[in-house]
Structures are given as structure tokens and as C-alpha cells.
Amino acid sequence: MRMAIDLVRDGHSDACVSAGNTGALMAIARYVLKTLPGIDRPAICATLPSLNGGTHVLDLGANVDSSSEELFRFAVMGSVLASSIESRPTPRVALLNIGEEEIKGNDRVKQTAVLLEQSALNYCGFAEGNDIYTGKFDVIVCDGFVGNVALKASEGVAGMLSSLARQEFSRSWLTKLSALAAAPVLRRLRDRADPRRYNGASLLGLRGIVVKSHGGADAYSFGHAIDEAVLEVRKAVPDRISSVLEQMLVNQPVL
């Protein structure tokens, strides 16, 4: 990992894609590449499947305790990534919370909402956990503790549903027959929700492009992580984040 990131730093490579340990990759990347101006902590951003394609969620574990200012910066970085990769000029940004009402949430989330409301981002309010998959928002922001719990819970539910479906379809000769009849629909459902298609989490806020692949990724899955890195290189995502963040911070209100 160190050798790969050194190549990015020295300009011999445009991006690094690694399936190694996430903590080590983040630590090395932050030490070697450094963070962009205005960014104290990089964030891990991944795309999770939704009814409308995918939702960019960050942070997913790099920062377990983030201030409102840091959450605001995460929102800026996620919005720039979504607008660059998805070609959406004004991505819909939301804060992950325990309810949609303004009175819900802790002080940190409420303070972040104030910053976002007064920014140039297309801030759409609070999102609940189920909104990650509805396609209602393009970017959902949270701290790494909450994001990682949501991610692992989602993976657990997906695995449970897959196991239950296999158990039920293999229960008797009749259910096995029904499985054959439903096979085309099941294949399309599997393809749409296949986590391998969404492999590749971006380490945003660095002076270079680093993409984290799942440690258990197969060739197909790892290929999608490479595709993510290629897209970010073509769209010059770090430069775009730096430019937008500089403009945002000039006009950012003080809490």
C-alpha cells in the first residue's frame, strides 16, 4: 500500500486502488498524500444501491466522532463527488438523523443543518435510515460511527434475506419448481442489488485519489473499484473538491 500511494504522490500513478486494511490504507494515504486545504480529516464515501441507482453515503468509518464543521465538509465532498461521477449539477444532500423533524437529533446534527441550510449546496433536510435505499437523496452525510453501523447492518440484512430465500425455495419439490419459474426475476433482482457492482469506497479529502476495495472482492467486484478510480481521475475530483470547498468556506457562517 505504501509503495502504491508513493507512486501517486510522485505522479507516476493517477490513483491507488487497494483491498488492504482500511485503517492502514487511510493512515498511509493521509501521511503520504496529505489532506486538501480546509480538510482536517478525510472521509470514506461509498455508493449504496437504491431504487434510483445509488446513494453516496459518508463517512463510513474513518471518523467515529466528527464536529459539525467536519460534517459540513463531508457534505461538500460528497456533493462534488456525486456531481462529478453522476453528472448531476445539484445533488440532493441530506443529513442522517433519527427523524425528519427539525427538533429531532443531537446538537451536532442540528448545528450541521444550520451550516448546510446557509450554504450553496442543495440541502434537502434530514434523512432517516430507510432513505438510504429509496433514492430520495443523492448524498447522505453522517459521522463514521453511525455510517459504519448503518453499512454493516445493511450488509447483514442483505445476507439474511439471501439465506432465507434459498431456504424457502429449497423446502420442497413444489418450492423448487417455483424457484425455477421465478429464476429470471430473481436473477434481475440479484443483478440490481449485487453489492459487487457498488464496490469501491473513495477516501475523500486527500491530495490524490485512493479507492478502497472490499477485502473479499472477486475480479468482477475489484474491476468496479478500478472503474471508480478511473472516473475520479477523469473528473479531477480532488481538484474540484478543493475549488468548491474554498468557495464554500469563504461564505460559511460561524456558529
**Residue-level pLDDT at 136:** 93
240-243's contacts with Cβ under 8 Å and 24+ in sequence apart are 240/80, 240/84, 241/36, 241/76, 241/77, 241/80, 241/81, 241/204, 241/205, 242/36, 242/37, 242/38
**DSSP states along 34-91:** -BPTT-SS-EEEEEEEETTEEEEEE-SSS-SS--HHHHHHHHHHHHHHHHHHS--SS-
**Residue-level pLDDT at 216:** 86
**Residue-level pLDDT at 44:** 95
Q: How far, in whole angstroms, is CA 56 from its chain's centroid?
A: 4
**Residue-level pLDDT at 253:** 55
The string of pLDDT tens digits covering residues 204-238 is 999 999 999 988 889 999 999 999 999 999 999 99
Question: What domains sit in the chain, N to C, each tagged with a CATH number?
Answer: 2-251 (3.40.718.10)
Low-confidence residues in the chain, pLDDT < 50: none
